[in-house]
Amino acid sequence: MSPIAQHTIVGTPFSTFTRTITLGLHRKGIPFQQVHTAPHSATADAHHPFGFLPTLIIPGDAKIKLRESQAIVRYVDRVAPEPSLHLPEGDSHLPEQMWEVSDLHGLSGFPKVEGGVVKKRVAAGDQGKLSDAEIREQLKDGVAELKRFLAVIESLMAPEGYIFGENLTWADYFLYPLIADLEAIPEGEVIGTRIHEWVAKMKALPEVEKTFENTLAAGGRPPSD
């Protein structure tokens, strides 16, 4: 098999969806360069019709751009099927359940973790006008929704190991950036034991270390462009 050419990923490491994709690119050994840009920036708008992140630019004369994480993941799996990030056939779960859980992370987890709590906490902290008690009061409803989401996710996880036990899958990569952000703020105190154990296992992965720089936990903020 010929070597895979270098790709370009458009998106800041601060973006959870961008980190999901870069985790997979590292795992699959797909070389890439990263354009650090915030959502809705001029650069993001030039690559995505709605300015969202990430966009994957495919090498070649056509310069095809893939937007939306699910489309990018399917491309990554096609050009680099191994190591697999899917549930194997014959597993106690249906292989499609991996996508079910991944979608729950993106469609329910992102608004509850990021929109409802993390982004508001970070913005309030950066402004420095409110006390911790005042911030917590503002986040009270969001934290209640966050707790419900975390309880649902824990109920779907295997008793130990990754989300699906010994099988590392895309579901882990879709959830990890959200939980890593949550761990970086005081509201991370609501994370339960099972998810903490899972986080420790994820942190042992080389791709997690390689994608840490410029994330919220590393003290990063989105680029200003």
pLDDT, one tens digit per residue, over 43-86 is 999 999 999 999 999 998 878 999 999 999 999 999 999 999 99
**In a shared domain, residues 14 and 117:** no
Q: What pairs with residue 77 in β-bridges?
A: none
Residue 69: domain span:
7-79
pLDDT in tens, 131-166: 999 999 999 999 999 999 999 999 999 999 999 999
**In a shared domain, residues 103 and 172:** yes
**In a shared domain, residues 162 and 192:** yes
Which of 79, 110, 129 terminates a domain? The answer is 79
Our count of domains for the chain comes to: 2
Residues 91, 84 contacting (CB under 8 angstroms): no
CB burial class (10 A; 0-12, 13-18, 19+) of residue 71? exposed
pTM for the whole structure? 0.95
The CATH number covering residue 71 comes to 3.40.30.10
**In a shared domain, residues 108 and 205:** yes
CB burial class (10 A; 0-12, 13-18, 19+) of residue 187? buried
The CATH number covering residue 181 comes to 1.20.1050.10
Find the mean pLDDT for residues 195-220.
98
pLDDT in tens, 108-139: 999 999 999 999 999 999 999 999 999 999 99
Residues 5, 31 contacting (CB under 8 angstroms): yes
